[in-house]
Amino acid sequence: MTTVNTPIGVPNEINFSLPSSMLPSRKFEYRVASNSQSLFTQPNQTIRFTLSQMQRTLYNMQTAYVLGSVNFAIGATGVPGTDVHYLLGSWYSLFSRQVIRTSQGRVLETIENPGLLANMITNVTMNNAERRALNNAFGFDDSNANTNAGVRIHGKDTTDAALDIGGDTNNELNFTFAIPLIGILNISKFYPAWFGDLEIELTLAPVSNFTVRTAGTIELTGYTVSDVEFCVEALELSPESYQMVLANNPGQVVLKTQSYSYGNGSLEGGKTGAADINFQIKCNSLKQILWYAQPTDACEKTYAGVCPNLENWNFICNGISYPQRPVQAKFPAECYLQNMKSFGSVYSSSHSGCLTRNEFNVASTSDTKFYRRYNTAGANILTKANKWYQILDLGTINSNKESLYTGISTSSTSSMLRLNLNRALAAVTHNIHYFACFDVMITMDMATNIVDVVS
């Protein structure tokens, strides 16, 4: 008989020890308005925030968010209840690009199409109730979050008084938003503000890219963004505490985080058989691939996720297949579990998403068992959503952005998504949208104050 000796310990529930003291400091809220202008009305305009250099101060990026107001314009003959529009995705969709720069002009991060990324991640990780609860800040639909439609714009009629905010039908063109940043600054470690200014730049997208008309004939003519601010909590250390931090981090401060990069490809209408999509993103530690196919006539435009009639698919890097056995995409349940595994939610309801069979089992053309054909009709956007998204976990330590590099390298080799189609696609182009989630180190040199990234 084998005897196993276990160490004696004190359970956490009866461990009442606390540190004798903490670093002397004071917390304050730091708010900064855009330094480019106050009103934004045109696509490709950029909203810039400069976070000023501050001695002995750190930003708590877990509390950071961008807030503002958005007002939509519609033709003078638009009639509420007749001409109905919806936001696609969330308020992240307002922006076509997010860039983070240092005071020396060094670009730390560029994320193209952050709205597509946010829509995919929130669909896979947030359930219906969670998305509805975030309606006021994020702009998700407040009645049914199992869709790619966000808030309803100019859709009120006489029987829907609940959406008549303030008693005026025009108020359904006015919204506020407050959204945290995706990417490199979404870190748990505090960001030292003494290394120089930090610039955040958001580029506006055309209104037609992130809204859809579901009824009537009158289109939205534009929008205005105003009252924009960046808000974050900051911690100011005492001189003694600051010197202690410097002494504990001699020479260099290193922050471990993660970022995203966007790429795309396409499949021609009627395609069948094998297809390779060139993976163009080079990085040292690729942790996740997030991708989907989007037929050009899908009702949610670029936000529509559709299975491109796959038998199976895999990722090829340096001649190695990930996973070893291709994902059996002809069985949508396996595709769904790949998503859950990527966020550590197998055997858990946490991060379980809102991809039910009605929204997830969607393909370019229907089969006789598991997939229905994708929806092209805007009028059905709330009842027949197109939300087949795929995420492949490539990290050794699942979804841990605070650990050391855990992914695979694509920096010096060719990579591709290999798709095996078991029946012909519908007769329209299918755009392939993909994102890479990869490890990043932000390095800060104490002697030169130079901030750089290694990815």
Amino acid identity of 394? Answer: L
Phi-psi region of 273 (alpha: psi -120 to 50; beta: other; left: phi over 0): left
Distances 207 to 73, 93, 151, 303 between C-alpha atoms, Å? 10, 9, 14, 14
Report the half-sphere exposure of 195 (CA within 13 A, side-chain side). 27
Burial of 362 (0-12, 13-18, 19+ CB in 10 A): buried
The topology under which CATH files domain 251-455 is: Adenovirus Type 2 Hexon; domain 4 (2.70.9)
Does the pLDDT at position 1 exceed 60? no
Query: How far apart, in whole angstroms, are the C-alpha atoms of residue 230 and residue 30?
Result: 8
Equal CATH topology for 26-248 and 251-455: yes
Q: Which of 254-268, 376-390, 400-414 has the lowest mean pLDDT?
A: 400-414
**Pairwise pLDDT comparison (206 vs 447), residue with the higher score:** 206
Q: What pLDDT does residue 75 have? A: 79
Rounded to a whole number of angstroms, the CA Rg of the chain reads: 24
In this prediction the pTM is: 0.92
Query: How far apart, in whole angstroms, are the C-alpha atoms of residue 338 and residue 332?
Result: 10
Q: What pLDDT does residue 402 have? A: 64
388-406: pLDDT as tens digits:
999 999 987 665 556 667 7
Does the pLDDT at position 76 exceed 80? no
Cβ-proximal residues to 302 (8 Å cutoff; 6+ apart), any chain: 113, 116, 209, 294, 431, 433
Contact call for residues 390 and 292 (beta carbons, < 8 A): yes
The topology under which CATH files domain 26-248 is: Adenovirus Type 2 Hexon; domain 4 (2.70.9)
Residue for token digits 């197109």? 386
The predicted model gives 366-381 an average pLDDT of 94
The SS3 of residue 440 is strand
Amino acid identity of 135? Answer: N
Contact call for residues 426 and 343 (beta carbons, < 8 A): no
**Pairwise pLDDT comparison (63 vs 4), residue with the higher score:** 63
Domain ranges of the chain: 26-248, 251-455
* Pairing verdict, β 220-237 and 25-33: antiparallel
Query: How far apart, in whole angstroms, are the C-alpha atoms of residue 35 and residue 229?
Result: 10
The full length of the chain comes to 455
Does the pLDDT at position 16 exceed 70? no
190, 191, 192, 198: CA torsion to nearest 10: -160
37-65: pLDDT as tens digits:
889 999 999 999 999 999 999 999 999 99
Q: What pLDDT does residue 215 have? A: 87
* pLDDT level of residue 164 (50, 70, 90 thresholds): very low
The SS3 of residue 44 is coil
Q: What pLDDT does residue 15 have? A: 67
Contact call for residues 258 and 284 (beta carbons, < 8 A): no
Q: What percent of the chain has pLDDT over 90?
A: 69
Query: How far apart, in whole angstroms, are the C-alpha atoms of residue 27 and residue 4?
Result: 49
